[in-house]
Structure 1
Amino acid sequence: AAVDASLGETRAFDPASSDRRFALHMSDIGQGEFLPVLMAHLRVHAPGVRIEVRQLPLDEVQPALDQRRIDLALGHLPDIHGTLHEQLIVDRYVLLVRRDHPFVHALGSAEARQALQYVVAQSHPEPEKALRRLGLADHIRLMLPHYSAVADVVANTDLAAIIPRRPALRHARHFPLVTAEIQVDLPQLGIWAHWSWRAESDAGHRWLRETLAELYRAGGSEPD
């Protein structure tokens, strides 16, 4: 079971004294986004609450929610259906390149768009689709399963990653990288919390959902 307390779900939940364990599905980007904010909050307000992170294949996420093997799925999950959900973040795609990239001062130009060699991730198919529509499929030099290695790759090459803005800004704080607006028509990214209707009567689950929603409504997690 995803939670240690499976009985008496309707009873009051006291985060300050609870030692409950919650299981959360999230991607590599989601871990960098949510865990620093959430764990800092728990340290002060719910010091005994434990978090277990799982990274499930996408086709297993909804069954795991329904079976209560995980409590929440957090992230950009457009193929997940039949869940209760709440949007936590709206993001957009940007370019991420090394600070001394040859096109660093002209990344917004049509010339740069045609000349760049790109990194995209299978976990976010929208950039690949957009590049193919523009006839730039041959400019996709590296396809990653996800974004966990992207900062190291981009910092050591002339490749340009198309990546959500929030993780791009975090990478730019720790690597010699810069971001730029991308001259490609891409949709905004909704980052959501998904859960099963079976968790609706669970007071602890409701507390966790409301905590995440409040943390992101407060805007304290917005990258600089």
Structure 2
Amino acid sequence: MDAADLNLLPALDALLAEGSVTRAARRLGLSASAMSRTLARLRAATGDPLLVRAGRGLVPTPRAVALRDRVHTLNREVQEVLRPPDDRLELATLDRTFTIRANEGFVRLFSAPLVTAILEAAPRARLRFVPKPAKDAGPLREGAIDIEIGVLGDFAPEVRTCLLFRDRFLAVVRAGHPLLSMSVTPERYAAAGHVVVSRKGGSKGPVDEALAALGLRRDIVAVMPGFPDAVRIARHTDLVALVPRSCLGDPSLMNGCASFELPVATPEIVVSAMWHPRMEADLAHRWLRNTIMSICHWPAQRGDASGAEP
């Protein structure tokens, strides 16, 4: 099947609307001779004369009359498809559901201000938060989620990213814990019982590597699926929880607990927003990304996390 020449569509629309080669040529900024040649091509393509001589003018054939409105609609739709999108976003009428995949800690700290900001700007928009059972690029690639929040990995090299904030690990213990009344050395820290967080059930991390370099090893008593769970365990025991500093921004979570700096150096946590390249130019998606960035930077400015500009 031969490919249709879409360049003929605007000319056909003009010819059927004007009923004149001269006026159609003027409408499209062409010469009358060029439009005459285009009419000849249209006749060959459609198998119909389209416009025929009647005295000193032209009249449309029955097929041309039948095509007129349809051609006009098609031409307008093709022009809309093949031009850059309108750069205006009407938030007041935006009716769309955005799906964000993030861990429990991010949802606990940022979901309320994010939902508030979204509803204030776009009352008909909706947010759907889904859990992160594992790092998997499939949902981003398939369009099942709009944005992923977390630590970068190499699971999807094509994914676009933007830094939200920088975080670091702290130790959290119950109020009155013996470690709070002394200088916490690596030896004293390692000797305590520990509760750690791992989605996959593992127990080793950068802290253990830093301690191993000193010939030390933590006594890991419990492994939890989320940081709020680890803090709750620490609140009611003598175990030491390892949590991101951003968790301190949740007063209800930290009630009855205290924190202190780790006695060993560990790499910072870089939390980013991630999305698929096909959503890069989508105006509503861009607005969502910018809103998330502004919300995540706000607690950083209050000292709840170490923020940085993307």
What CA RMSD, in Å, does the superposition of the two structures yield over aligned residues?
Answer: 2.6
Deviation for aligned residue 1:121: 1.2
Matched-pair contact (CA < 8 Å) for 1:120–1:128: no
**What TM-score comes out, normalization by structure 2 length?**
0.62
The runs of 5 or more residues in structure 2 that have no matched partner are 1-80, 306-310
Letter of the 2:234 partner, please give it.
Answer: V
Distance 2:211 2:252 in 1: 24
Computing the radius of gyration over CA atoms, which structure comes out larger, 1 or 2? 2
Q: Does 1:223 align with 2:298?
A: no
Higher relative contact order (CA 8 A, sep 6+): 1
Work out the CA distance in 2 between the residues paired with 1:85 and 1:220: 21
> How far apart, CA to CA, are the structure 1 residues paired with 2:267 and 2:241?
16
In the alignment, what sits opposite 1:210?
290
Report whether the alignment pairs 1:69 with 2:144. yes
Q: Which residue of 1 aligns with 2:272?
A: 192
C-alpha distance in 1 between matches for 2:124 and 2:114: 13
Q: Which residue of 1 aligns with 2:192?
A: 116
Contact 1:91 1:164 (8 Å CA) reproduced: yes
Partner of 2:58: none
Deviation at 1:140, TM superposition (A): 1.3
Q: TM-score, normalised by structure 1?
A: 0.84
- Summarize the alignment of residues 44-59 of structure 1 with structure 2, pairs less than 5 Å apart: 44-59=120-135
Does the aligned pair in 2 maintain the 1:92–1:165 contact within 8 Å?
A: yes
Residues 42, 166 of structure 1: CA spacing in aligned structure 2 closer, same or farther, 3 A cutoff?
same
**Equivalences for residues 1-224 of structure 1 within 5 A:** 10-11=85-86, 12-60=88-136, 62-82=137-157, 83-106=159-182, 108-123=184-199, 125-170=205-250, 174-218=254-298, 219=300, 222-223=303-304
- The percent of aligned pairs where both chains have the same amino acid is 25
How many pairs are equivalent?
A: 216
Q: Which amino acid in 2 is paired with 1:143?
A: V
The amino acid across from 2:269 in the alignment is L
Tell me whether 62-71 or 40-49 shows the greater mean CA deviation: 40-49
CA–CA distance in structure 1, aligned partners of residues 218 and 253 of structure 2: 30
Residue range with higher mean Cα deviation, 91-100 or 79-88: 79-88
Distance 1:221 1:70 in 2: 30
Gap regions ≥5 residues in structure 1: 1-7
Structure 1 position 183, deviation (Å): 0.8
State how far apart, in whole Å, the 2-side matches of 1:67 and 1:52 are. 16
Q: 1:88 corresponds to which letter in structure 2?
A: L
Shift of 1:148: 3.3
